[in-house]
Structures are given as C-alpha cells and as structure tokens.
C-alpha cells in the first residue's frame, strides 16, 4: 500500500511533521493522543523538534491522554538505562479512512525499546525475523486470493470489504495495519488514501482489485492483486499487465541492485512501452515487524539506496490510457536465494 504524502505541520501538533499512513493510526483511538514514556532526564532528548516534551513524558506508569483538535500522536519512548530514554515519534492526522468496526490496536505498552531517535530507513525491531516476514507475506497473498474467489457481480464495495474482514478473522489474523481496500470498475483508478465507494456495484463484465495490510505473528504482510469477472479481454490484459510490470521491475532490482527511485523511473518507461499509464503517486513503502511506521522510511520510489530484501513493498498501479479503469499489484521484494532465518 502507498504512503500518503506528508503535508507538513498543522496547528496544535507541537510543530511535528506527520505521516497519514501510520500503523498506530485508527479511529479506535477516537483522536486521543497516546504517550508512552518513562521519566525523561537526558537534556538531549527533552525536546522534539525544539518543543519541550517534559510536560508530556515526565511521568511513570500508563500514559496520560490528550485530545487534540486535528491530530493524534504516538510518542514512543524506550528505556536505555536508568531514568534515561531515547524517543521517536509518529504523528497521524484524523479522521481516519480506516475500518471502524474492529478494535485493531491493543492498549499502548508501558515501554518500547528503541535504539536511537533518528532511525535508519531500513531499520527493524528487536523481534524481527525474516522467516516470519515471509510467513506474513504468504498469508496475506493467500488471503487476497481467498477473498477474490468469493466476490461476485452484484456485490458493492462495502459488502466486499465486510467479506474480506470476515475472511481475515477466520484465518486468524492478529490485526490489520492498514485499511482493507476493495475497488470495483472505475474506482480502480483511485489511490490508497481515497475512500471506497460503498455503493459501487461490480458489473457482469468488470475489473476489481484487493489491497490488504495484515499483521501475522507480529510481522506486516502487504499484498494486492487485480481480478476480472466476465469476458472483457482489455480488462484481462490490464490485470495481467500490472503483474508483468511488477515482475519486470523486480528483475531490474535483482539484476542491477538499483535505488528505489531508479526502479520507479524504470517502471514508468516500461509501462509506457507496454501501452499503459503508471500512477507515480503510488511508489511503494516499508514493512517490518509491526509497526514499520516508527521508522518513517518514506516511499520506495523516493529511496536513494538499493532496497534490502524482505523489507520493501513494490507497488504497481496502472490505468488504461483512454478507458476509466486500472489495475494494481504489489508484493514484497525478496531475493529467492536468500534463506530466511528465524
């Protein structure tokens, strides 16, 4: 799934920048600010972007709750020594577009150990496991296929989303880390941060895609694919082209080890050569042990280094050059020769 654009700072958010696609962001928080910290006594970390956090973090036990007008914040502080903390923050705006029907986020922990304030773009947490990362990927791909098999003409997007949620619950998911996205027909041109059209009905000859972000065993799976009902050959070509373009770009990564930004420049040229238009607002993102959002890694398409295996989602969204529909495909970038270690 894509990371929506960082649109800067807002009044009342302590001057901090924010990322709308945050795994901690959900309407279940009801716009409460959750602060998890121990007493902050180290002068170097008593500010966040030059704003004092002593009035927020100078406490022990469970965090206080604040009610900002526009934003919700998760300030996560980990203890690295006696009465010393290192901190990182994630700020997410509300209201959310995400599913409001499941309590996805448990109460915030008393402590989360972090290694530094400024986290590298390819950092992982202490519980990260390549084997569990691959498991999360495989379970999410399986879920996409299971859900797609149950979607029928005449369903609307709300019914399909409810079906997807029920399927994930039956599969034993821990939680979703981004909202369930199912798009039919003309809405396949929409990007991640646009709402579904709940009354949009799938036709007899139509195209749809599914995008899931699910946590399994503490690790984030993210997968998406496009499907066609009926016999529209141009729609079938579009769905297939998204998969083919994804594979072509992955091969470029495997062979050349190029930066994320180069991958999307290459993808745009390849899409044009294939006769499709690439949506460059959708440029991939990090995954890891939950939640990856604390690392603020940005988009894959803006990453100036070669993405590591098992840490980045390559997203491809194309559209027909003249007709009102498109296709989407995403998967984890993995080097098959790399063995996963628990």
Distance between CA atoms of 230 and 294, rounded to whole angstroms?
43
Whether this prediction's pTM lies above 0.85 is answered by no
As given in the structure block, the two tokens for residue 58 are 């100078």
| Sequence spans of domains, the chain | 1-118, 130-332
**Nearest CA-CA partner of 18 in 54, 64, 63, 72:** 72
Instruction: Give the mean model confidence (pLDDT) for residues 250-254.
Output: 97
How far is Cα 293 from Cα 92, in angstroms, rounded to an integer? 10
Q: How far apart are CA 260 and CA 266, in angstroms?
A: 10
User: Where residue 258 falls among pLDDT bands split at 50, 70, 90?
Assistant: very high
Extended beta strands in the chain, E state: 33-36, 47-48, 51-52, 65-66, 71-81, 84-93, 175-184, 206-216, 219-229, 277-278, 285-286, 312-319, 326-332
Counting Cα atoms < 13 Å in the Cβ hemisphere of 214 gives 29
CA distance 81 to 194: 43
Q: What is the pLDDT of residue 294?
A: 85
b/e map 311-320, b = 16+ CB within 10 Å: bbbbbbbbbb
pLDDT digits (tens, 9 = 90+) for 309-330: 999 999 999 999 999 999 999 9
Are 263 and 301 spatial neighbours (Cβ–Cβ below 8 Å)? yes
Q: Is the dihedral of CA 196, 148, 268, 233 positive or negative?
A: negative
- Residue of higher predicted confidence among 20 and 286: 286
Class for the domain spanning 130-332: alpha beta
pLDDT at res. 293 = 85
| Alpha-carbon gap, residue 137 to 217, rounded angstroms | 11
Give the burial class of 261: count Cβ atoms within 10 A of its Cβ; 0-12 exposed, 13-18 middle, 19 or more buried.
middle
Query: Using an 8 Å Cβ cutoff, are 51 and 14 in contact?
Result: yes
Tokens, residue 324: 């009102």
pLDDT 10s digits, 147-159: 999 999 999 999 9
In angstroms, rounded to a whole number, what is the distance separating the alpha carbons of residues 294 and 88?
7
Q: How confident is the model at residue 240 (pLDDT cuts 50, 70, 90)?
A: very high
pLDDT digits (tens, 9 = 90+) for 190-207: 998 898 899 999 999 999
């Amino acid at each position: 799934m894509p990371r929506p654009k960082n649109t800067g700072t807002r009044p009342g958010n302590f001057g901090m920048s924010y990322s709308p696609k945050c795994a901690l962001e959900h309407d279940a928080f009801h716009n409460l600010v959750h602060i998890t910290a121990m007493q902050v006594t180290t002068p170097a970390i008593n500010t966040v972007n030059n704003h004092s956090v002593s009035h927020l973090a100078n406490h022990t036990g469970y965090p206080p709750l604040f009610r900002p007008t526009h934003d919700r914040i998760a300030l996560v502080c980990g203890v690295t020594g006696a009465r010393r903390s290192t901190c990182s923050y994630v700020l997410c705006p509300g209201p959310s577009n995400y599913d409001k029907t499941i309590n996805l986020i448990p109460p915030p922990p008393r402590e989360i150990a972090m290694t530094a304030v400024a986290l590298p773009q390819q950092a992982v947490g202490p519980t990260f496991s390549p084997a569990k990362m691959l498991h999360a990927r495989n379970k999410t791909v399986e879920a996409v296929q299971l859900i797609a098999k149950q979607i029928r003409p005449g369903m609307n997007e709300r019914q399909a989303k409810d079906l997807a949620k029920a399927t994930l619950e039956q599969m034993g998911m821990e939680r979703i880390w981004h909202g369930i996205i199912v798009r039919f027909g003309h809405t396949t041109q929409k990007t991640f941060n646009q709402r579904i059209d709940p009354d949009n009905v799938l036709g007899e000859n139509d195209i749809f895609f599914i995008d899931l972000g699910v946590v399994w065993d503490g690790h984030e799976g993210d997968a998406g694919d496009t499907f066609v009902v009926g016999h529209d050959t141009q729609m079938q070509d579009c769905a297939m082209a998204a998969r083919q373009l994804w594979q072509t770009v992955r091969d470029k990564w495997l062979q050349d080890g190029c930066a994320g930004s180069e991958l999307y420049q290459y993808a745009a040229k390849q899409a044009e050569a294939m006769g499709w238009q690439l949506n460059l607002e959708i440029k991939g993102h990090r995954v890891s042990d939950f939640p990856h959002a604390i690392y603020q890694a940005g988009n894959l398409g803006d990453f100036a280094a070669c993405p590591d295996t098992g840490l980045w989602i390559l997203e491809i969204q194309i559209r027909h050059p003249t007709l009102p529909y498109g296709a989407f495909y995403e998967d984890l970038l993995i080097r098959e020769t790399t063995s996963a270690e628990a």
